[in-house]
Structure 1
Amino acid sequence: MRLRLVPEETNLDFFRPMRFWLAVSIIGVIGTLILLPVRGLNFGVDFLGGSLILAEFPETHEIGDYRTLLNGLDLGAVAVTEASGGHGGQVVLMRIGSNGEADQSQVVATVRGALDAAYPGVQYLQVDSVGGKVSGELVQTGVIAVALAVVAIMFYIWLRFEWQFAVGAAISLIHDAIVTVGIFSLLQFEFNLQIVAAILTIIGYSINDTVVVFDRVRENLRKYKTKPLKDVMNLALNETLSRTVLTSGTTLIALVALLLLGGPVTWGFAFAVIFGVLSGTYSSIWVASAIVLRLGVKRDWSKPGGGAAGTKFANVDA
């Protein structure tokens, strides 16, 4: 007997509350754009600049012990991760954020002195300093990476489907990226390069779900040439609902485990992707599909013109 989280056949009207969910999305995006200049982001060491120290300790200790020691020095934001086991020891990567006043060479000297006193025999494999210019370039590179990902995906959808689908997919991806940044600004969780990687992961996950829905919409448009576009898209969403629930559910199980058991190193990444999976599943239905419904699509792919059929919001039940 196969596991079913939803009935084999459903007949839900996904577009009945469309006005409400579109309003929620618009409020979320506008709220983020207002929140960012006012509240800003809690940038981590990657974006603030600071010092990076890779050290090998002869004995293995809890990562929290190193973090507590460095926090006690009151030098700035601290991030500590275990790099590997080393050659019989423990290799730890420590990043100390710049507080805008301290000289980074002095910061490194203070950290090395504290580590030498607490952990005799420690060896320093790499010591680097990241200035404000480099950290600013990382912010710019992160924004460019997200923008290029959205443009490339939009181009791919345009080639595979039609421009209406490309517009819907692109807007839903931008929506997911913006609201994810917004939740980090609202809650003031640390925003670092891991979160940029999480946003790119969210974009990939979201477009995968959107393409599955769009592919079924295209099949149904060929099959039901006279059925209203709203009914065709509703049918496609109902037919892919079981797949969406199972895929999102299994993904969330793994992410929740990472969130609860991964520790502080992976906590931000796991939280961002969990929020993004929920946002991406939501936007595939009430952002991407709603925009395609509004713009209309051609009904017959066998003809060059195809005859686009649009459906206005005024004809959709609120």
Structure 2
Amino acid sequence: MEFFKIDKVFDFMSKRLPFLGLSGLLVIASIVLLFTKGLNFGIDFAGGTVVQVQYEQKAPIEKIRNTLEGTKYENSTITEFGSPQEVVIRIKGSSSNLANDIGDEMHKLLDSTGNFEVRRVDMVGPKVGGELREKGLMALGLSLVVILIYVSFRFEWRFAVASILALAHDVTIALGAISLFNIEVNLDILAAILTILGYSLNDTIIVFDRIREGVQISKESILDKVVNESVSKTLSRTTLTSLTTFFVVITLFLFGGEIIHGFAFTMLVGIVVGTYSSIFIAASFLVQLKFSIANFKAKEAEKLKRQKEKEKMRAMYEQGTV
């Protein structure tokens, strides 16, 4: 199935500066949001307690807030969870001063709010939360380093730098959206960010592979034209893959319930931004880094020459002439 004509070449590179400018503005806005508003770290990273309560009738959220007013739980965050009958009470910070059986204590405090049952109580200490946050950032950093090494080995250093810049672009904008919409950052969000890295890298590698192939077989010496041809050839594949994934994730976002809402939202942003960067940004970075077709072909010719010399020496050795 083709959304775009195979022989149609779109002139992406003539518009690369406006697209890079737009991306620059989005990245700067995201960084400003991260430094001013910050991220809303959930229980997984900040430490604290989660209490899930199910009522027989619609949960009286305002009454719950008023009931907890003046207690050690007065700064809790109370939100609807999945259905109007269920709520989640999130108590951030240290849980060392809480009662051993917080479920029983919460049951007593909320007794006047209606008939309900405490379905879940999860506690995470602040030390554990800090360790999870540190290891999450380490996992993100190591992922970028490994990707840089892999792409450098498979392609050329300019491809590697361009792919890392594109990935940093995608992740920064995704984090900016998370901050803007006050999405709670937990282990699910970390998983979504790492998934975005893999998804975006996959698209970028396919585009770069086609560019390398185009450089090798094309008689064209102008990089912009080779990039336009290569990106145009992958356009249908990129569009189909992105739309298929997008429809699955938006279904999760709309019908998956509160528990998966943050993950699905992050994935939606990542898919849109990752597809955009694979088509318009990654290759633009490659052009901006002054990748040279002549130098690349010279290196490939030298590599092929060395390979033939090795094969010749091996043949002579096997025949006993060396």
User: TM-score band, normalised by the shorter chain?
Assistant: 0.7 to 0.9
Q: Please give the alpha-carbon distance, in whole angstroms, between the structure 1 residues aligned to 2:164 and 2:61.
A: 41
Structure 1 residue 285 displacement after superposition: 2.7
Equivalent position SS for 2:301: coil
TM-score, normalization by structure 2: 0.77
Q: 1:163 aligns with which of 157, 165, 172?
A: 157
Between Structure 1 and Structure 2, whose CA radius of gyration is higher?
2
Matches within 5 A, 1:1-318: 3-51=1-49, 74=68, 75=73, 76-77=76-77, 96-98=90-92, 103-105=97-99, 108=102, 109-113=104-108, 118=115, 129-295=123-289, 296-297=291-292, 298-300=296-298, 302-304=300-302
Equivalent position SS for 1:246: helix
TM-score, normalization by structure 1: 0.78
Q: Say if 1:73 and 1:146 are closer, same or farther in 2 by CA, change over 3 A.
A: farther
Structure 1 residue 248 displacement after superposition: 0.4
Q: Say if 1:287 and 1:270 are closer, same or farther in 2 by CA, change over 3 A.
A: same
> CA-to-partner distance for each residue in 1:11-69, whole Å, 9 max, x for gaps?
210112111111111122222222222111122222221125699xxxx989x869999
Contact 2:16 2:284 in 1 (8 A): yes
Q: Say if 1:101 and 1:203 are closer, same or farther in 2 by CA, change over 3 A.
A: closer
Contact 2:55 2:115 in 1 (8 A): no
Structure 1 residue 8 displacement after superposition: 3.5
Q: Say if 1:150 and 1:95 are closer, same or farther in 2 by CA, change over 3 A.
A: farther
> CA-to-partner distance for each residue in 1:163-215, whole Å, 9 max, x for gaps?
11100111111111111111111222222221111110101000000011011
* Identity score, percent: 36
Larger mean CA deviation between 157-166 and 72-81 belongs to 72-81
Contact 2:152 2:160 in 1 (8 A): yes
Contact 1:171 1:287 in 2 (8 A): no
Contact 1:18 1:290 in 2 (8 A): yes
Equivalent position SS for 2:14: coil
RMSD of aligned residue pairs (Cα, Å) = 3.4
Contact 2:19 2:280 in 1 (8 A): yes
Q: Name the aligned partner's letter for residue 282 of structure 2.
A: A
Larger mean CA deviation between 182-191 and 213-222 belongs to 182-191
Q: Please give the alpha-carbon distance, in whole angstroms, between the structure 2 residues aligned to 1:123 and 1:16.
A: 58
Matched with 2:312 is: none
Contact 2:81 2:258 in 1 (8 A): no
Matched with 1:316 is: none
Contact 1:221 1:300 in 2 (8 A): no
Equivalent position SS for 2:90: strand
Gaps of 5+ in 1: 83-91, 307-318
Give the length in aligned residue pairs: 288
Larger mean CA deviation between 200-209 and 263-272 belongs to 263-272
Structure 1 residue 104 displacement after superposition: 2.6
Structure 1 residue 228 displacement after superposition: 1.0
Contact 2:242 2:275 in 1 (8 A): yes
Structure 1 residue 268 displacement after superposition: 1.1
Q: Please give the alpha-carbon distance, in whole angstroms, between the structure 1 residues aligned to 2:150 and 2:93.
A: 43
